[in-house]
Structure 1
Amino acid sequence: MTNFIRSKLYEVGKVLIKDEKSKSFIKQIVSVNNQYINLKIINAMIEDNIYLNIVDNEVKQSYIQKLPKKNKQLQIRIILQGKLEKLDQVTNEKIVYNENDISVEYKQDIEESLLNKQGEHVKYICITLNEEYLNENEYFTDIFKENFSKKFYDPNLKKKFDELFSREYSSGFDKIYLKNKTMQVIHYILEECQKKDSLLNNLDDEDIKRVQKAKMILDNSFQENITIALLSKKVALNQTKLKKGFKELFNTTIYEYLKDLRLEKAIKYLKTNKYSVKEVSSMVGYTNQGSFSYAFSAKYSCLPKDIKKKSNL
């Protein structure tokens, strides 16, 4: 992979679409199209020490993007599409953020890089609360201790936040809109974190690791015939605790998660135009093409063959 600092990566093919500044608000819309990326990003300071980034990035060629060194901060990432990988330069730990993941991290002395892989199309929201804001609002530090890191899954993220990607951001009212949306996200995250802490009182650390392992097995083996009984044996956790724990950790049932995962993979295969509907059905774990088409149309309000037709245009 080629290494870049952000300024060098954006140097070629950068177009500044909108730049609006005042004492308490900054909005910048940037488009970058070069040999590595096709990127649209909205950067906003919605009030002192609270920053919002709305990122839509198609990666044409793999690269590593070194981010500026940061002091103590709370950062929220919401992945609506694709996969984002990050390398912690201090611990050398690689963290993967998958589609429908929400992560909350409270760290200090942050040195990290984004690992961008060719062919990935990722859409995500990042909200950063700087140290000054956290110090002024002590209830954050009551909830989030230093080196706090939590990640959870929400299958309804697109419904909640996709509107942020569809706006033109050409209105003078964007300041109000962006501030309201950012505060809604922060409030939502605070509620979810507190809810998770309450729900997980019945699961010990080992149980949580086993449930997380079950999700990893589904992610890596979605095309196989995986039953709850089999999954229970693989992670050595009884079925009742596995089902309840999965629902509590990821806001969805094992069945719904596997179904959504298979259909999301299916739409990616269909868009390549390399495979027939029957082949895609089998590739994502369906033994019956009719069942696949029914589930697909229920989720996307169209048939698999319609995706192939659009991709041919």
Structure 2
Amino acid sequence: MTNLSRSKLYEVGRVILKEERSKYFVKQVARVNNQYINLNIVNAMIEDNIYLNIVDNEIKQSHIQKLRSKKESFQIRIILQGNLEKLDQSTNEKRVYSENEISVEYKKDIEESLLNKQGEHIKYICITLDENYLKENGYITDMFKEDFYKKFYEPDLKNKFLEVFSREYTSGMDKIYLKNKTMEVILYVFEELKKDVIKIDKLNDEDIKRVKKAKTYIEECFYENITIPLLSKKVALNQTKLKKGFKELFTKTIHEYLKDLRLEKAVKYLKENRYSVKEVSLMVGYTNQGSFSYAFSSKYNTKPKDVQKKSDL
């Protein structure tokens, strides 16, 4: 893939359609059409150190887009169409943000690139609280002791935010609209995170290391028959401390975490439309298709086969 900086990517075919600036609000509506992309974008600073990007991007040619380095940020991404792929340049870890997912991410010392694949048409919203905002609002970073990533899957996400992509953004009322939409998303995410506040102060360093090892094992072997006794032996930590420590670190029981992980993997496999529902249920560790379908419907309020149908559209 061709490596491109943001400035290099935008220097050809960029047209500013509308611009508005004041002390506490900035809005820029632009189109970029060149050999790499056909991009419609709304960039806004809706108040000091809170930024909103509304992106509709058709990838004409595969390329890697290097993003601006950041010391610290809290980001919320809402993917309404397509898949967004990002590469952490320090760890070489690739992360995929998928359709109908809200992702929440807190990181320090960020060096990242977007991996843009030819033929992808991506629509997404990104909200960023930058390092200055985080310093002024310490309650956010108090929620995390280290880099943090979480996502929520919502099958009807596209319909909830359809209007955001259909507006012209030529009105003086856009300031109110964009601020309200942004704060609505931030409030929703924080309410969800309040349920999952990470508490690790009661565990010693060795306990934390062993509990994290258990989480890694679950993520690598989620399709196997994983039990508490098995995990306890794998990480050499007694069952009581393992269960209590896992709940304190990751705000879910081991059973809840394994179940959620399996269902998230199931969504990915179903959307590929290469496997039957029965095959997917076995691939993610369910021996009974009925139990899988019940668990899936309970979590996402939709049937597995309906996810496959939507992927056909």
Fold match (TM-score > 0.5): yes
Q: Which residue of 2 aligns with 1:244?
A: 244
Q: Give the counterpart letter for 2:105 in structure 1.
A: S
CA-atom RMSD, angstroms? 4.4
8 Å contact from structure 1 (residues 64, 113) kept in 2:
no
- 1:148-297 alignment, distance < 5 Å: 150-152=146-148, 154=150, 165-168=161-164, 170=167, 172=174, 173-178=176-181, 180-181=183-184, 184=187, 195-196=197-198, 199-297=199-297
Q: Residue 105 of structure 1 aligns with which residue?
A: 107
Counterparts of 1:303 and 1:51, CA distance in 2: 36
Unmatched segments (≥5 aa) in structure 1: none
Counterpart check, 1:46 vs 2:30 = no
Deviations 1:5-29 (A, max 9, x none): 1234456787877654333212345
Which of residues 75, 78, 88 in structure 2 aligns to 1:77? 75
- Give CA deviations for 1:60-104 in whole Å, capped at 9, x if unaligned: 87643212355xx5301345667754434xxx4345657776433
Residues 24 and 216 of structure 1, relative CA distance in 2, 3 Å threshold: same
C-alpha offsets along residues 209-230 of structure 1, whole Å, 9 cap, x if unaligned? 3222322222222222212222
Residue identity in the other structure for 1:104:
Y
3-state SS in 2 of match to 1:252: coil
Q: From the superposition, tell whether residues 186 and 225 of structure 1 become closer, same or farther in structure 2 (CA, over 3 Å).
A: closer
Task: Give the equivalent residue in structure 2 for 1:87.
Answer: 88
Alignment of 1:59-70 (within 5 A): 63-69=63-69
8 Å Cα contact 1:52-1:127 kept in structure 2? yes
| Contact kept in structure 2, 1:33 and 1:39, CA below 8 Å | yes
Deviations 1:254-280 (A, max 9, x none): 222222222222222222222222211
Q: Deviations over 1:227-247 (max 9, x none)?
A: 222222222222222222222
Q: Identity of paired residues, percent? A: 51
Answer whether contact 1:25 1:175 (CA < 8 A) is retained. Answer: no
Counterpart of 2:115 in structure 1 is 116
CA distance in 1, matches of 2:27, 2:239: 49
Number of positions where the alignment pairs a residue of Structure 1 with one of Structure 2: 295
Query: Offset at 1:204?
Result: 2.1
Q: Compared with structure 1, are the counterparts of its residues 157 and 298 closer, same or farther at alpha carbon in structure 2 (3 Å cutoff)? A: closer
Task: Tell me, in whole angstroms, the C-alpha distance in 2 between the residues paired with 1:206 and 1:58.
Answer: 48
- Counterparts of 2:226 and 2:298 in 1: how far apart (Å)? 22
For residue 48 of structure 1, report the CA deviation from its aligned partner. Answer: 3.2
Question: Cα–Cα, structure 1 residues 255 and 37, in superposed 2: closer, same or farther, change >3 Å?
Answer: farther
Q: Which runs of 5+ in 2 are unaligned?
A: 168-172
Cα deviation for residue 141 of structure 1 reads: 11
Distance in 1 separating the partners of 2:231 and 2:48: 48
Q: Deviations over 1:107-150 (max 9, x none)?
A: 5xx6x23252758979674424255x677x4x649968xxx972
Return the letter of the residue paired with 1:305: K
Structure 1 CA distance for aligned equivalents of residues 245 and 123 of structure 2: 28
